[in-house]
Amino acid sequence: MAAKFELKKAKSGQYHFNLKAGNGQIIATSEMYESKASALNGIESVRTNAKGAALDDQS
């Protein structure tokens, strides 16, 4: 199973998303968004920008 984004609506009416790994584990959670369109834009931003993200190992 491939990774997937899950878009959710909170009781407050705001939207957020989780990125789940193929095994179903949540590997990223977004901030809260006022609109569904903004949350969808956040998903697209992760898709676009995470491909070339550098590792900042601060351990």
pLDDT at 17: 98
Q: Which residues pair with 8 in a beta bridge?
A: 16
E strands, 1-59, where? 4-9, 15-20, 26-29
15 neighbors 36 (Cβ within 8 angstroms) = yes
Statement: 4-49 belongs to CATH 3.30.160.160: yes
pLDDT at 40: 98
20 exposure class (CB count in 10 Å sphere: 0-12, 13-18, 19+) = middle
pLDDT at 1: 73
pLDDT at 23: 95
- ∠ CA 41-13-22 to the nearest 5 degrees? 55
Whole-structure pTM value: 0.85
pLDDT at 37: 98
pLDDT at 42: 97
Mean pLDDT by 10 residues, the chain (59 residues): 94 97 96 98 94 90
